[in-house]
Amino acid sequence: MTLLALLLGAAPADRLPVPRPEPCIPITGDPEEGEYVAASGLSYAQVRAALNGVIQTALYCTRPEGLDAVHLTYELTVGCDGVVSAVVLTDAGGAPQAYGACVGAVLERADFPAHDMPDGMLVTYPVNVSW
């Protein structure tokens, strides 16, 4: 079976590589030394770049019948290793469950840089789709 055939038969998310975890970034500053300690997480540019890198693949998700546009909202938790640890569809915007799950699976493949928030970083992602 060719790679192309594999791609054609696969779920849209399977077109994307599975991100590899990276070592978490330690928080700098020593509170015992009286230093201010604060995790900074990822920047908007980093988050945007990671999401932009995968979102077009979600267009391979089967268009819900009878809809010209859908607006979905996801909450992603990005672990400090840069891997998405949870994707929750908080608003399906009228789209069927299967469609929301397909786009969510694509978002799970977003490859973020490692960061310094040990409990993960929450990203709200409103997704607008039109056909």
Partner 1 sequence: MLLACSTPAPAPTAAPPEPAQTPVAADAPPVGSIGGEPILERPVVIGGIPNEAVEAVIDQHQATLLACQAAPRAGKLLLHFVIAKDGQVRDADLRSTTLRHPATEACVLEALAALQFPALSRGDRAVVTWPLAMP
Residues forming contacts to partner 1 in the complex (CB under 8 A) are: 4, 7-8, 40-44, 47-48, 51-52, 55-56, 58-60, 63, 71, 73, 90-91, 93, 121-131
| Cβ 1 to partner 1 shortest distance, Å | 13
Closest CB to partner 1 among 1 and 4? 4
| Cβ 113 to partner 1 shortest distance, Å | 14
Name 85's bridge partners: none
Q: Would residue 9 be called left, alpha or beta, if left means φ above 0 and alpha means ψ between -120 and 50 degrees? A: alpha
Dig out the tokens for 56 from the structure: 């077009």
| Cβ 122 to partner 1 shortest distance, Å | 6
Closest CB to partner 1 among 32 and 56? 56
Closest CB to partner 1 among 5 and 33? 5
Strand intervals (E) in the chain:
69-78, 84-91, 121-130
Closest CB to partner 1 among 81 and 106? 106
